[in-house]
Amino acid sequence: MSGGHKRAVAWLGRLPRPPTWAVLLALIWTLEIYFVQEITLIPGHWQSLFGAAIYKIVRLGIDLLACAALLCALPRAALVALFAINPLFYGAVILYNDYYQQPLSIHAILETSGEGVQVSNAVWGLVDAWMAVFLVTFAIKLGLLVRGGARAPWAARRRPAAALFAGYVGLVAVVNPLLQPLSKIGTWDSVGGLGAIYGYSLTWLAELAYLDVDALRDRALARARALPVDVDRLDAAEASFPVGERIVFLQVESLDLALVDFTIDGREVTPNLNRLWRGSVRYAVQAPKGTGSSDADFRALTGLPPSTDVPTYKIPGYPYTGSFVERLARRGFEVLAVHGVTGEFFNRRRAYERMPFSELVFREELLAREISASESWAIDDGVVLDYAAARLRAAGGRHFEIVITATSHIPFPLPPGEKVFFPDEAADRFAYFDSVHYVDAAIGRFVDALPPGTTVVLYGDHISKMENPEVGYSQRLREGEGCVPFLIHMTGRDLRGLQRTGDDLALSCELSSLQAFRLVHRRIEASFTEAPEEPGPLAGRTTPRPAESAALVARDAY
């Protein structure tokens, strides 16, 4: 052994032994962090059992060294504050992972925190059980800290704190080149992939260091170019259907496929949806929630897969040249967007302006025009749909609207007296049915008020995540993805008899919502005077480039 090694061993041997309470505290803190990581940080790429085991062991070591170093270095008041924050952090990452089916990234925090705050008072109810567990562990940690008595002076803690911190940095320095460099977050790897090795803190720092705005935009564009969207099979199998000069895309919040023909005590929850479903070309499609509800209208308005890092509308400089909106405008359509939520929600206003729409009507415009005086975060869907129907009726020529609902968004707000199924139940799993029943009635009035020959494309943005075994309600999933209804309807006509695709394709949930949108785009554009299409940076991409971004394609099937 060299002299340097001997001195290092001797220095470590002089370190004081930690008291039992400190060891227990470090272990409990480490294990709760590790458990939260284990259920939320899932790699998006294949791993061998051996590789997965190595990842877990390394992450456990990183967690233990980090917790021990902080326990040794921080004063008691700082530790108490940190322990108090822990349950909120754990609840947030579990909730995000459960709701969006992907780990929480630092860019999601920075770019969508405003959206989360607007509905946070309701969604926290989804992690009540977890919060109870974390409050118990908080009490145990606090008890152990108090039991430890007065802290040793900093002079006595300095050397062990330095040793633990050096061990933490050294382990990360060794793992980084051997297992997975942190810089990979800037190319193909994900928060789940890197987080499985390093945990959240280091992965988030890597995001800030390597995944800037340009990288986010490049990743989103690479995914849009590379991801295969096979619409040719559906296009060849499906019959032609008429398209009117008035077209509306109706995006319904949290609309489960399982709602179709679902009854409670013999009463249909969505009678109007059921009626439309029976008279339309209809599909059961997978609709990944991704980074939020805006992913659905991004697909509808561009025909492209959205970013998996942040809502695509939030990426500065993302190009919308050649969007479906632009192609409609070149065919002489007035294009209008109507949504009862602020235009800042998911940054829709700025993105829509660049597509570009002829007119935008968000919550701000509805209030300014005295269409509503609501103080809620979302204007009632009944008001929004009545306004949208009036605009469609008044249209003098080719007219397109996308109308986005919000009332059936958690916390499922309803006007007084509108609860018909569960008037005395406050839990979300019951409130969902009354909320969607109310929205369904507004949809029925909306469709019935449209002029004959209006084309209506109605679809759910994503599933509700509401399960209710008490009434026998379970969501429809395929390969882990939620299934929603997607229908093409024409007022005054029954299109059901025109559909050629059988249930094995149309209703199996094999199709993605993006495939259905691509089909609709093709049929609408083919129905009107064609104009030369400007080749935008993403135009015409329906098949992957042979070697381009293969990891992105493998990471996300839709």
Q: Is 252 helix (H, G, I), strand (E, B) or coil?
A: strand
Topology annotation, domain 246-555: Alkaline Phosphatase, subunit A (3.40.720)
Q: Which helix (H) or strand (E) holds 458?
A: strand 455-460
Look at strands 246-252 and 399-404 and give their pairing: parallel
Query: From CA 354, how far away is CA 7, in angstroms rounded?
Result: 65
**What is the CA 426 to chain-centroid distance, rounded?**
25
- Predicted pLDDT of residue 387: 98
Q: Quote the crossing angle between the two packed helices 20-40 and 76-100, to the nearest 10°.
A: 20
Strand partners, 375: none
Indicate if the alpha-carbon torsion angle 304, 306, 307, 312 is positive or negative. positive
**Beta-carbon contacts of residue 272 (< 8 Å; ≥ 6 apart):** 440, 441, 443, 444, 447
Tell me: the pLDDT tens digits for 413-463?
Answer: 888 889 999 999 989 999 999 999 999 999 999 999 999 999 999 999 999
Token digits of residue 452 = 């004959």
For the chain, the domains span 3-211, 246-555
Query: From CA 284, how far away is CA 230, in angstroms rounded?
Result: 16
Query: From CA 198, how far away is CA 204, in angstroms rounded?
Result: 10
Token digits of residue 480 = 């882990």
Query: From CA 371, how far away is CA 481, in angstroms rounded?
Result: 37
Strand partners, 268: 263
Strand partners, 338: 361, 403
Tell me: the pLDDT tens digits for 222-279?
Answer: 999 887 788 998 999 999 999 999 999 999 999 999 999 999 999 999 999 999 999 9
- Predicted pLDDT of residue 549: 34
pTM confidence score: 0.74
Query: From CA 544, how far away is CA 529, in angstroms rounded?
Result: 29
- Predicted pLDDT of residue 545: 30
3-state helix, strand, coil in the chain (%, to 5): 55, 10, 35
pLDDT in tens, the chain (558 residues): 565 555 555 555 565 678 899 999 999 999 999 999 999 997 755 567 888 899 999 999 999 999 999 999 999 999 999 999 999 999 889 988 887 767 888 888 887 655 554 555 545 555 567 888 899 999 999 999 988 877 788 888 888 999 999 999 999 999 999 998 998 887 667 788 899 999 999 999 998 888 788 888 999 999 998 877 889 989 999 999 999 999 999 999 999 999 999 999 999 999 999 999 999 999 999 999 888 899 999 999 999 999 988 889 989 899 999 999 999 999 999 999 999 998 988 889 989 999 999 999 999 999 999 998 887 888 999 999 999 999 999 998 999 999 999 999 988 888 888 999 999 998 999 999 999 999 999 999 999 999 999 999 999 999 998 999 999 999 999 988 999 999 999 999 999 999 999 999 999 999 999 999 999 999 999 999 755 455 454 544 333 332 333 333 333 333
